[in-house]
Amino acid sequence: MMNACLALGPFTLAAAVVAAIALVAPAPALAQDHTPLKCPAGSVYHETRKDAGGNDFCERVMPGDLRVNDGPARFWFDKDFLGEEGVYKKGRKVGLS
């Protein structure tokens, strides 16, 4: 007895294989998450965009009108490629991921 898939023809068999692969293959990578950061109390969220990339960061105003990063921060090479993500405390990096 002939296999049922082979009886349908080579093109139908190829289509069935492509459909099976599409069902189990991982989804393509989508753009990274660009939701606003959750800034600590006393800091304000800022985002800057230059060319295709940009920066998202939390800024705190210190005495003497000194503005420093304070809280989570992200740098983007472009909309799909995250360059760096980390945390600042009163202007100094305290954690990177």
CA angle at 91 for the pair 89 and 97, rounded to the nearest 5°: 60
**Tens-digit pLDDT profile for residues 16-57:** 554 554 444 444 444 455 678 899 999 999 988 877 788 999
Question: Which of residues 8 and 28 earns the better pLDDT score?
Answer: 8
Q: How much is the pLDDT for 27?
A: 42
What is the domain partition of the chain in residue ranges?
44-96
pLDDT single digits (tens) 59-72: 999 999 999 999 99
